[in-house]
Structure 1
Amino acid sequence: MGKLQSKTHLHTSKYRADGSAEKRGPVTAVQQHGPVHAEAVTSVAALKPDLCVSGGKDKSVVVCNWRSGAVLRRFIGHEREITKVTCALDSHRVFSASRDKTVMMWELLGTSGPRQHFPGHELVVTGLAVSPDASHLCTGSRDNTVCKWDVETGKRLCRAGISRNLVTHLCWVPGEPYVVQASEDKMIRIWDSRELHVAHTFPGKRHIQTCCDVSQDGRYCVSGSGGFAGEGCEATLWDLRQTRSQVREYRGHLQTTAACVFLPRGLAPGPVIATSSYDRRVKLWDQDSGACLATLCLQGAGPLASLAACDASTLLCGSFNAGIRLLQLSNRTDLELEEVAAF
């Protein structure tokens, strides 16, 4: 740990709203730490100011310090690869979903074994969202069902199924009893978690909806679309108050947009959305105008499967071929994005 290596193939690019390149930023040295996963990283989430949790194809759930790359806990218990990880902010509890059809809860300060099990889905669990107070958990699966669980007892409280609703992602609306869900049937749904029924369904998109995130104020949702060769591949902004249609699309990725997150207010003058794609690129978008503010291409990383915002200037990106990449935002002149560490 601590060895510096120059990544001459990495660059940042500025783009106009039409996607044309304006300039490239300088090459930066990247801090190389030992990899925390032996195989592809499938999901990453921010846990505390300096900590993150990740899951991988190696079946492990890892808590590490993203500033130093140091592994603090490694949880083993799932029989197949991890599909999603999540946590309640400032909580000591971590949740993981897996292709083994189960969800587990781990205690950061507890034993290495799972604190709670949530079995019951018939196929791989692909959606995972914990309530802000960490008392309830919502899970979704390729078995077309969404379930609500009591975190303390592990009891399943509700189960709802919709034909062809192959869940791809779940996220809880801050301060509300609602959960947003993305699906392979190209729909974005809003679930009322109190009785687990669909409160609203947005108009369908043309491609599979792969991921979703909700803004910190609970007003907007962003989703990512599948696609190839620039067909589809967009991110879409939805207004959770005016739910008739989409607000805006963010186009520029060439392959499936696999992750999308709202960034906390910080360096940019307005709200910013980050996306990552199978095209190995992370992009920053002006939420209001739809302009692409910056692009970072991670050569050799393979598909970029997940994103997490640690703070207003730091992103974590999970990759298939090159572990977790730590990305930094800066505004020396314009907004820039660069890789500073890998672990």
Structure 2
Amino acid sequence: MKDNKQLAGPRRDTIETFEGHENTILAIATFPDGERIATGSRDKTIRIWRLEDGRETKKWGVKMIIGALVISRDGKQVVSSEGPELGDDEDDDEDKVLSRFYQWQLWVRDAETGRVVAGPLDGHTNSVFALDVSLDGSILASGSADRRVILWDTTTWRRNGDPLLCGAPIACVRFSPAGHGQLGIATDKYIQIWALDRRERLAQIKGHTNYNGSCNLSLSWTRDGARLLSAGNNYDPVIRSWDTSTWEQVGDPWSGHDADQHIYRIILNPAGTLVASASSDNTVRLWQLSTGTEVARYEHSDDVLRVAFSVDGRFVFSGGLDKKISQWEIPDDLLTTARGDPLSGRLKIETTSFNSPHKHQRQASAARGKQKARVYISQSMYILTVNQNLKSHLVVCGFMITTSMFLRHF
């Protein structure tokens, strides 16, 4: 039963709703141009929405439900996992039910036309609700209830080596932003960290499983890769922070979501200072990363399954069982606080060109001594991404730019 107790974060009103889906929303992804979002639903559609006015600009009907979505780093492709809704036919015998698990596939579509450019990508033998793209855009990771993560080359859309065998159903996959080629994986039993170049499991902890036999549902790295945040199901509905050098828990768990409710998704904002969480207690909560304090909450009428930040970090998008996407504005005072958080390192930024593929971004170079990196600066003055590969040791991570440029560098 959902708890209606008064909570720490003040309620905030929605500023926009995106309506049109006819069933549960299972996926939200933002385009790097900052102008659009993509959503996927149990209604067997992928929809593209224009943020300027909330208008649905594209609707692609597919044959099965959408389990997850991710946008390519250049914004040109939409990748989806699609599969059958189990229980559609109550009279199915066991063989038919089992055969459905093998029908989960990945599809790659042109973001403008919806044309299939790759797929179906076969390989998983159970549902796929976890997708992520590496920072350089060269690898897609897909995690499945079949207990495996498959890595895909995004140029050829063929498998990149053998699958990662994780030993338990997978709920979330997240590439580390630290540029060391590491992948975080949340499973029913463990949180695992893998080195992709060696296909080696570097660490494994029980995470939320240590607490009342909970499951690990979602992960989010801090921008410097020094900590990994995790969220648990209804047996441990809190956010926990883990030191990635020792894999010990840092501080107390972040509590606030109602007891006996799942935290389905957590995500860090582009500035690396705020965390959003989506829960079956009908709320999205906003947390200060530096303190683990709840600073705002946004209320839906039903379970919230997915949450995402806008590219400029000023808005939160969320959706779930209420079949609509809600857009929430982050209060100015929280953005001001985010700007004032301590950052490490300073890089000199020299604008060298303006040929970014997105009109809301400017391409620039960042340098410290002999080390250089290419970054994209959004119109709202956030660092968005960095050109790098899995072996790169120079990483620039996103922080709001004020009068001078402070960046994490390691």
TM bracket, shorter-chain basis: 0.7 to 0.9
Equivalences for 1:18-33 in 2 at 5 Å?
Answer: 21=7, 28=13, 30-33=15-18
Distance, in Å, in 2 between the alignment partners of 1:120 and 1:129 is 17
Distance, in Å, in 1 between the alignment partners of 2:128 and 2:200 is 19
Match of 1:61 in 2: 46
Q: Give yes or no for the alignment of 1:146 onto 2:149.
A: yes
Equivalences for 1:309-324 in 2 at 5 Å?
Answer: 309-310=309-310, 311-324=312-325
- Superposition deviation, residue 121 in structure 1: 0.6
CA contact (8 A) 1:202 1:245 kept: no
Distance, in Å, in 2 between the alignment partners of 1:282 and 1:308 is 10
Distance, in Å, in 1 between the alignment partners of 2:191 and 2:152 is 22
Distance, in Å, in 2 between the alignment partners of 1:244 and 1:22 is 29
Percent identity, please: 19
Residues 195 and 59 (structure 1), Cα distance of their counterparts in 2 relative to 1, 3 Å cut: farther
- When normalised by structure 1's length, the TM-score is 0.80
CA contact (8 A) 1:147 1:160 kept: yes
Deviation digits for residues 250-305 of structure 1, max 9, x if unmatched?
1111111111111233xxxx92211110000111112222221122222x2x1100
- Superposition deviation, residue 24 in structure 1: 5.3
CA contact (8 A) 2:9 2:297 kept: no
Residues 142 and 122 (structure 1), Cα distance of their counterparts in 2 relative to 1, 3 Å cut: same
Deviation digits for residues 91-149 of structure 1, max 9, x if unmatched?
21211112341111111134533434321111111221111222211111111111111
The partner residue of 1:287 within 280, 286, 289 is: 289
Match of 2:71 in 1: 87
Distance, in Å, in 2 between the alignment partners of 1:29 and 1:276 is 15
Structure 1 or 2: larger strand share? Answer: 1
- When normalised by structure 2's length, the TM-score is 0.68
Q: Give yes or no for the alignment of 1:330 onto 2:334.
A: no
Distance, in Å, in 2 between the alignment partners of 1:259 and 1:323 is 17
Q: Give yes or no for the alignment of 1:210 onto 2:217.
A: yes
Residues 155 and 292 (structure 1), Cα distance of their counterparts in 2 relative to 1, 3 Å cut: same
Match of 1:197 in 2: 200
Match of 1:251 in 2: 255
Distance, in Å, in 2 between the alignment partners of 1:309 and 1:108 is 20
Structure 1 or 2: larger helix share? Answer: 2
Equivalent AA in structure 1 for residue 112 of structure 2: L
Distance, in Å, in 2 between the alignment partners of 1:317 and 1:220 is 24
Q: Give yes or no for the alignment of 1:304 onto 2:301.
A: no
Which structure is larger by alpha-carbon Rg, 1 or 2? 2
Equivalent AA in structure 2 for residue 87 of structure 1: I
User: Structure 1 unaligned runs (5+)?
Assistant: 1-12, 14-18, 337-343
CA contact (8 A) 1:75 1:106 kept: no
Residues 88 and 172 (structure 1), Cα distance of their counterparts in 2 relative to 1, 3 Å cut: farther
Distance, in Å, in 1 between the alignment partners of 2:14 and 2:316 is 17
CA contact (8 A) 2:279 2:303 kept: yes
Question: SS in structure 2 opposite 1:321?
Answer: coil
Question: SS in structure 2 opposite 1:68?
Answer: coil
CA contact (8 A) 1:130 1:138 kept: yes
CA contact (8 A) 1:45 1:53 kept: yes
Equivalences for 1:35-54 in 2 at 5 Å?
Answer: 35-48=19-32, 49-54=34-39
Residues 32 and 141 (structure 1), Cα distance of their counterparts in 2 relative to 1, 3 Å cut: closer
CA contact (8 A) 1:210 1:226 kept: yes
- Superposition deviation, residue 196 in structure 1: 2.9
Equivalent AA in structure 2 for residue 103 of structure 1: L
User: Structure 2 unaligned runs (5+)?
Assistant: 84-102, 338-410
Deviation digits for residues 214-269 of structure 1, max 9, x if unmatched?
23333332221001xxx4111112233x232122421111111111111233xxxx
Q: Give yes or no for the alignment of 1:264 onto 2:270.
A: yes
Match of 2:55 in 1: 70
- Superposition deviation, residue 38 in structure 1: 1.9
